[in-house]
Each structure stands twice: as structure tokens, then as C-alpha cells.
Amino acid sequence: MNSTELPPLYADKPASVAPTRSWPKRLGFYALNAAIMFHLIAICAAPVSVSPASELEQSLWVSVSPYVQLLYQNNGFHFFAPNPEGAHTVIYTVAYEDGSTEQGKFPHRKIWPRLLYHRHLMLSESLASMEGERRERMIRDFAYQVCKDHEAQQVTLSLLRHEIAFRERIIAGGSLFDEDLYQEIPLGTFTWADLSATSSENSVATATK
Amino acid sequence: MGRLISHLFREFGSHCNEVAKAWNKFWFTPRDPYALCVIRCLVGWMAFYTILVWGIELEAFFAPQSYNSAAMIQDHFTNVEGPYALSFWTWVPTEWMYQVHYLSLGIAFCFMIGLFTRVTSVLTLIVLISYAYRARFANYGLDQIVTILTLYLCIGNSGEYLSVDRLIKRYRIAKGKIYAGLGLWKISRGPTATVATNIATRMMQFHYCVIYMAAGLGKLFGETWWDGTAMWRGLAISEYQTFDMTWMAYYPWATDFITHLTIAWEVAFAFLVWRPLTKNWMLLLGAGMHLGIGLMLGMWTFATCMIFGYLSFYEPEKVHAFLRYFRDLIFNSEQKMVEVVTSSAHSMNTAALKKTFDVTDRLVLVVDGSPPDFDQEQAGSIHADSVLPAISRLIMLDHDTKLFQKFDQAIQKTRIPFSCVSSLNQLQDAIEQSPDSIIIANLENFSDQEVQDYLGSILPLALKFYPSVTLLRSSQAHWLDKISTEDYQRILIQPCDGKDVLAELQRALHFYNDQFPDVNRQVPRSFFAQQQAPRETVPEPTSFQGPIDTVFE
């Protein structure tokens, strides 16, 4: 049924905002259309620019990134892609002033609610995916936070990678928690004195920026 | 050659015109914001909960020196992501952290309950973005989807229903009416369908398609999504597990099947969710997948939040009808209560407050000392059967008169002249004889062709002055998508019993009133002409100010 076939009452009530009448309205209508188009392109640009991406996709991303970044729409949505991989846990040993030590890790099952557990899991996963200087800075930040939480004098950090057990292993009597599935990557030992000094420098640097 | 080119140009122009029409219809057809308001309540709760949980370890995540120091984050944005990732946490001094956090919680709470929604929706978006960027390396899908949905809730009119804003409006209207010495039985909305709501809804739908398409295509790079082991790998990550799913290793066909189904569903979603035949299946599969993620991987927040957005794929009227069913189960709206309001300020304010929260419109307010044409006896006798708004004749189309027999008695109580026809031709004749009639069409036993004829030819005629109630079989509902009726004509009622028909008729009238408040003022004319005075002496529609009135905002 077209609107032209409708009784006059309905024909007089347009279902859409048509670009008619005064030029400011017409201009506004075109601007609205352009904005919609731009937004649609922008939200597509983030996922398509995930590597591997063509030069066209990359340049599209560069063009729209200020907009999508401002609105936090810059997500690739590649959940569990390309493959679900093993998880990472940060394990630490803290040493107190009296010489005693304590071991711990994050994330751990006692973190509640579950949302907070996932926040910690994302931290360790982010660290695992990082490289270079930023990784080193993140490790120092983790060390600082662990020391601060435990009021410890020293902390030794490691990243524990837990590989996924294949189905065949389980059927053959193995477990998800077999020792050979774990790989410990040492991250370093840090003293509170060193960390707090760096922290002050960082604070000053941040304030200056 | 010239003719061919000119023909091609003409065809191309015609095609472009059709595309433009379809584009305009898709984006700029006004839409009622009910579904968006329900999403606001749910997403608002999720935003509030997310911020609440951040508060448990606020300093560990948001202090300048924390799991991710401010300097490190700033460096990351400057050198890697880009400088436009702004967060107010950059400027919050340590000693003000908790105050800012509580303020953020308050904003999200106001957004959830729909208080100053226009403002608090934007503020909540700013809060969510700020939290997400400051704790950039502790983010995951939940933060992304909450922000996406909130962005679109800022665009649409998400505070129109189910909100404190709405209650405030109701109170003002009720108070205004009562202080003006007028009675009140229903506070109806003015036109609520807006283009902005439609744009927000369409963008939400489109964004979901982008999300699932990206997720699906991203997975296609991985060999485990091809060899079928991906789902097992997901279930075998003990750090994610809620339950021990190791037993699934003995049923490889099951994990293989779920793996392939996931990929097929994610890639197909963007194409099939728009088709009426497959839409529900796509959404059902999606809900199943997300609930599975919630159950197996413990990501309940992310899973439920993704499902919240699915409401945008449903017509607001359907969402409304679904929730109204539960509302009616809780609040018995059958019995009307009449309350006489005295002229004291306290009585009037109390009555206005009561009416504000009377969402089922059970309470009829009668103001003491009302205008002389007020009929106390009539007001006192108001009950469920007589609250149908003014109509001069009711015509029922019923193939085998089964439905007619079901609620014949109920219709008799309304004292509305009533007739029953059994074919489309008879119905057309009846409409031509009595154009200002309400039509109740039971199409359950009609053929597809007849349904198409009805929807295409007779329904527009029937809708000329009054709304129409159309009963369809579920299998016939797809006709509504095939014909290009506008949303406001789609008063679709699924098969229901006689009692529901009355309720749906009322709903249809209210819906009609909302859409055409100006036209609606003509509605009482014929009714009063019939009930009170000859047609010639009927007052102008706008002068109808009965003490018991339906108020339009």
C-alpha cells in the first residue's frame, strides 16, 4: 500500500521526514543523512582495520578514529578470535620487613563479584599481549600495586601461562591442570623503595604533561 | 541509441528514487520509544552495577599510581591508540576520587530510573567512557556494549516511559486538571513516536550486525573455528570456567557442532535478522549463545547486556504488550475506583499524587463542585465495561462467528450499537454505510489472499476515523511486513479471547489517540451527538471538556 492510496487523513501525515519545503530544513535533512552515513562508516571502520587490513581500511580508520575514539566505539569485536588461547595469571611472592614471605596470584577465585574477577583477568591478559617498554611499565605498576596492597618491602612477579588441554589428553586420562600445561615467565623482583621513587617521578611527569 | 540511454537514465533515476524512499522509511519513520525505555532501565542498571563494582577496588584501578598508572595509560594513548581517548579521571586528584566515584554512581542511578533522562543519559555516557579509558587494560566486551547502548539511548527519547520523568509529568498534569476543577480517569500520552527514537533504534540494530559480523569474520582466521575444536578450547580455559566442563571432551560432535553453529550464526546474523521468518530464530540462537557464555564462562554481565539490545529488534508495541501482560497479572485493573476530591489543597495534592502512581488507570478522580454538566451518577457507575471511549458503532468481522459468540455479552454491556459480518464484502459495505465505526476483524480463519486484501484495502478505510482491532494467526502476521503500511497502522493483535479483545480495542484507541490527538478531538462528536444532543447542536470538538476526561500531554 503506497501513501498515495491512503485516505487524505493519512496522506497528509507523512511517515518520513522528507527533504521538502524551506532550505534550512532541507539542509538539516541532508546533514542528518550525512551524519548517519558517517556514523555507520565509522563503526564499521574499527573492526575492518584490525590486522590484516588493506591500506584503504587503514586510511579509513585514520580518518574516523578521532570520532570513534572519543565515543569509545573503537572496538574490533574479535571475541575469542582468531582462536581461543590459554589464559594467563600473574603470580607474586611478597617479602615483608620481618623477612617473612607470602605467595599470591591474580586473578584468583576468591575475587568477588565475578565482574571484578574478570577485571583482574583482563589485566593479566593485557600484560601477556604487551611488548617492549609498555610491558615493562605495566609490570612495574603491577609490582607497585601488589606491594602497596600487602605493605611489603619486595615483590617478585611471574606470569603463568596456562595452555589449553586438548580433548585427546582428557580422554587419555589427563587433566586441564597437568603440570606440563603451565609455563612460568619471570617478570622481575622489585623493592618498594625503588617502586615508590619511580612512582613519584611518574606523578611529577604526569602533572607536568 | 539515444532512446536506450535515456531509458537507462530513467530506469536508474527510478531505482535511485526507490532506494531513497526505502532509506527514508528505514531511518525516518517515527517510532515509539517504549522498547528503548525498557533497554534504558536494563542498561542503566548494568551501568550502575559496573560502576558500583569498580568502587570495590577504586584506588587499585583509578589512582594515579595503580595497576595501570596514569602515566602509562597516557603514554599508551599518546603513542598507540590516539589522543582522543579522554577520561575525566586524568584530572581528578587522588583526594577527590571517591567523591567523583559517588557522583558517577548517582548519575548512573538517575539514568537507570529515568530522572532527567536527557541529561543523565549523556552524563552516564561520559562516565562510562571515562571509566573505560582510565582502566583500559581491565576492559572487556561488557564495557564496549554498555557504552554502545548508552550512546544510542542518548539519541532516542529513552525517558518517555518507565521513568521518574514520566511520573513527574503525570503529577503535573493530574494536579493541573484537578486544580482546574476537572475530573480525571486517564492520563494519556501525546504523540510519543519520534524520528530520533527510530534513528537510535536503527543504529542499535545496525551496530549489533556489525558486532556479530566482525566477531564471525575474525574467527574465520582461526583454524580451530574450522576444525571444530574452538568451542572445546573455550570451555577448557579453566580461568574462565564456572563449571567443570571437562566431560565435553567425550562428546566431540557436540563441541564441533556448537563451534560451527556459532560461526554460521554470527556471520548470518546481519543478513537474517531483518527477515521476519528468521528474525526470531536469530535472536533466539543469540540469546542461547550468550546465556551459554554467561553460564559456562561466568560472564553474566556481558551476556545479559548483549541480550538487552535484542529488544531493539522488536516492535515497541510488542514489547509493551508483553510487559503489560505481566503488569496486569500483578495489578488487577478490572475494577475502577472512583474518588471524590474536595477543594482543599491537601486533598487535591494527595489525589494528584495517587493518580501519578495509578499506572493502570484504575482510579477515577471526580472533583467536588465540578461544572454543572457533570453527571455524578454516571461517574460513579464507571466500571471496566463502560470505559471504552466514545464510538458510534462497532462492526465485527468474524468468519464463523465463534469469536462473536465469545464476547457478545461483553460488547452488549458497553451499550455500543453492534453488528457482525462474515465476509470482506459485507465488511466493506458496512464501513461505507457507517464510516465512523470501529472494526474488530477476526482474520484467523481467512485465507492469505483475504488477509492481504483486508490489510491492503479495507484496513486503511477502517482506520480513516477510528482504530481497528485486527486478530491474526501468528502465521498470518508476516503479511504486515510484506505490505508497506506505516507503523501507526499496525495494530496487530495475536489470537486472544473475548476479554482480551476489549482490552486490545481500548489499547488500540489509546494508541490511536496518541498518534492523532488532533483528530481524536473529533471522536466524541458523534458519540455525544448520539448520546446527548442532535448532531447540529454538537459543540466544537475542542470545547469538549467533560469533568472526566482523557488528558493529552
Chain A, 7 to 36: residues with Cβ < 8 Å from chain B are 7, 9-10, 13, 15-18, 33, 36
Mean pLDDT of chain B: 79
Look at residues B164, B162, B151 and name the one whose alpha carbon lies nearest to residue B121.
B151
CB contact at 8 A, A54 and A66? no
Which residues are B31's β-sheet partners?
B194
Look at residues B22, B305, B465, B246 and name the one whose alpha carbon lies nearest to residue A168.
B246
> For residue B107, is pLDDT > 70?
yes
A5 touches chain B (CB under 8 A): yes
Q: For residue range A127-139, what is the model confidence (pLDDT) as tens digits?
A: 999 988 889 999 9
Spell out the residues 6+ positions from residue B248 whose beta carbon is closer than 8 angstroms to its own: B232, B235, B254, B255
> For residue B174, is pLDDT > 90?
no
- pLDDT at position B266, please? 96
Q: Where does the pLDDT of residue B12 fall: very low under 50, low under 70, confident under 90, or very high at 90 and above?
A: very high
Place of cell 532541507: A26
B451 touches chain A (CB under 8 A): no
* CB-nearest partner of B207 from A43, A89, A166: A43
Q: Where does the pLDDT of residue A209 fall: very low under 50, low under 70, confident under 90, or very high at 90 and above?
A: very low
All residues of chain B having their beta carbon less than 8 Å from the beta carbon of residue A139 are: none
* CB-nearest partner of A122 from B57, B137, B237: B137
Q: For residue range A50-65, what is the model confidence (pLDDT) as tens digits?
A: 888 899 999 999 999 9
> For residue A6, is pLDDT > 50?
no
SS3 at position B390: coil
Cβ separation B249–A78 shorter than 8 A: no
CB contact at 8 A, B202 and B26? yes
Mean pLDDT across B520-534: 34
- pLDDT at position B509, please? 59
Q: Where does the pLDDT of residue B365 fall: very low under 50, low under 70, confident under 90, or very high at 90 and above?
A: confident
SS3 at position B186: strand
Among chain A residues, the shortest Cα distance to B253 is held by A167
Mean pLDDT across B159-166: 92
Q: Which amino acid is at B182?
A: L
What is d(CA B92, CA B84) in angstroms, rounded to the nearest whole number? 18
All residues of chain B having their beta carbon less than 8 Å from the beta carbon of residue A85 are: 233
Q: For residue range B427-456, what is the model confidence (pLDDT) as tens digits?
A: 877 777 776 677 777 777 777 777 777 777
CB contact at 8 A, A141 and B68? yes
Mean pLDDT across A35-47: 94
- pLDDT at position B136, please? 93
Hey, how many other C-beta atoms are within 10 angstroms of the C-beta on B254?
12
- pLDDT at position B502, please? 61
- Ranges B99-108, B115-124, B457-466, B527-536: which has the least confidence: B527-536
All residues of chain A having their beta carbon less than 8 Å from the beta carbon of residue B151 are: 71, 73
Cβ separation B65–A126 shorter than 8 A: no
Distance set, CA A103 to CA A96, A100, A125, A127 (Å): 11, 11, 20, 20
B80 touches chain A (CB under 8 A): yes
Backbone phi, then psi, for B471, in 5-degree steps?
-100, 125
CA angle in degrees (0–180, nearest 5) for B470-B471-B474: 125
SS3 at position B549: strand
Higher pLDDT, B129 or B380: B129
Look at residues B164, B170, B159, B165 and name the one whose alpha carbon lies nearest to residue B196.
B159
- pLDDT at position B462, please? 63
The secondary structure of chain A, three-state, reads CCHHHCCHHHHCCCCCCCCCCCHHHHHHHHHHHHHHHHHHHHHHHHHHCCCCCCHHHHHHHHHHHHHHHHCCCCCCCCCCCCCCCCEEEEEEEEECCCCCEEEEEECCCCCCCHHHHHHHHHHHHHHHHCCHHHHHHHHHHHHHHHHHHHCCCEEEEEEEEECCCCHHHHHCCCCCCCHHHEEEEEEEEEEHHHHHHHHHHHHHHHHHC
Q: Where does the pLDDT of residue B296 fall: very low under 50, low under 70, confident under 90, or very high at 90 and above?
A: confident
Higher pLDDT, B352 or B333: B352
All residues of chain B having their beta carbon less than 8 Å from the beta carbon of residue A202 are: 64-65, 69-72
What is d(CA B173, CA B553) in angstroms, rounded to the nearest whole number? 8
Q: Where does the pLDDT of residue A140 fall: very low under 50, low under 70, confident under 90, or very high at 90 and above?
A: very high
pTM of the model: 0.75
- pLDDT at position B455, please? 73
Residue B141: alpha-carbon gap to chain centroid = 25
Spell out the residues 6+ positions from residue B312 whose beta carbon is closer than 8 angstroms to its own: B35, B36, B39, B201, B204, B205, B208
Q: Which amino acid is at A139?
A: I
Tell me the three cell numbers of residue A5: 492510496
Look at residues B429, B413, B419 and name the one whose alpha carbon lies nearest to residue B395.
B419
CA distance B359 to chain A (A): 30
- pLDDT at position B488, please? 40
Look at residues A9, A27, A7 and name the one whose alpha carbon lies nearest to residue A17.
A27
Q: For residue range B382-426, what is the model confidence (pLDDT) as tens digits?
A: 333 333 444 556 777 776 666 666 666 656 655 567 777 878 888
Mean pLDDT across A33-51: 93
- pLDDT at position B317, please? 84
Tell me the three cell numbers of residue B382: 464507571
Look at residues B310, B283, B278, B307 and name the one whose alpha carbon lies nearest to residue B204.
B310
Cβ separation A73–B224 shorter than 8 A: no
Residue B472: alpha-carbon gap to chain centroid = 21
All residues of chain A having their beta carbon less than 8 Å from the beta carbon of residue B74 are: 206, 209
What is d(CA B352, CA B346) in angstroms, rounded to the nearest whole number? 10
All residues of chain A having their beta carbon less than 8 Å from the beta carbon of residue B299 are: 114, 118
Q: Where does the pLDDT of residue B132 fall: very low under 50, low under 70, confident under 90, or very high at 90 and above?
A: very high
pLDDT > 70: percent of chain A: 85
Chain B, 249 to 288: residues with Cβ < 8 Å from chain A are 249-250, 252, 255
> For residue B370, is pLDDT > 90?
no
* CB-nearest partner of A162 from B137, B239, B456: B239
Q: Which helix (H) or strand (E) holds B239?
A: none
Cβ separation A171–B250 shorter than 8 A: yes
Cis peptide, bond prior to residue B191, ω within 30 of zero: no
pLDDT > 90: percent of chain B: 45
Residue B251: alpha-carbon gap to chain centroid = 42
Higher pLDDT, B79 or A156: A156
Q: B293-316 as b/e, with b when 16 or more CB fall inside 10 Å?
A: bbebbbbbbbbbbbbbbbbbbbbb
Distance set, CA B503 to CA A176, B398, B445 (Å): 58, 18, 22
Q: Where does the pLDDT of residue B183 fall: very low under 50, low under 70, confident under 90, or very high at 90 and above?
A: low
Look at residues A185, A198, A54 and name the one whose alpha carbon lies nearest to residue A140.
A198
Higher pLDDT, B205 or B381: B205
Higher pLDDT, B91 or B426: B91
Q: Where does the pLDDT of residue B539 fall: very low under 50, low under 70, confident under 90, or very high at 90 and above?
A: very low
Higher pLDDT, B447 or B380: B447
All residues of chain B having their beta carbon less than 8 Å from the beta carbon of residue A82 are: 218-223, 225
Q: For residue range B256-293, what is the model confidence (pLDDT) as tens digits?
A: 999 999 999 999 999 999 999 999 999 999 999 999 98
The DSSP secondary structure of B517-548, one letter per residue, reads HHHHTTHHHHHHHHHTS-GGGPPPGGG---SE
- pLDDT at position B345, please? 83
- Ranges A74-83, A139-148, B198-207, B329-338: which has the least confidence: B329-338
- pLDDT at position A13, please? 37
Among chain A residues, the shortest Cα distance to B217 is held by A78
Cβ separation B218–A205 shorter than 8 A: no
Higher pLDDT, B545 or B323: B323
All residues of chain B having their beta carbon less than 8 Å from the beta carbon of residue A40 are: 203, 206
- Ranges A171-185, A193-207, B16-30, B233-247: which has the least confidence: A193-207
Q: For residue range B470-499, what is the model confidence (pLDDT) as tens digits?
A: 766 666 666 665 555 444 444 555 555 555
Among chain B residues, the shortest Cα distance to A205 is held by B71
Q: For residue range B186-203, what is the model confidence (pLDDT) as tens digits?
A: 676 666 788 999 999 999
User: Is the ipTM, as predicted for this complex, more than 0.90?
Assistant: no
What is d(CA A123, CA A114) in angstroms, rounded to the nearest whole number? 14
What is d(CA B374, CA B365) in angstroms, rounded to the nearest whole number? 13
Mean pLDDT across B121-145: 95
Which residues are B549's β-sheet partners?
B184
- Ranges A184-198, B23-37, B282-296, B336-350: which has the least confidence: B336-350
- pLDDT at position A163, please? 95
Among chain B residues, the shortest Cα distance to A114 is held by B298
- pLDDT at position B549, please? 30
Axis crossing angle, helix B276-297 with helix B252-272, rounded to the nearest 10: 140
> For residue B7, is pLDDT > 80?
yes
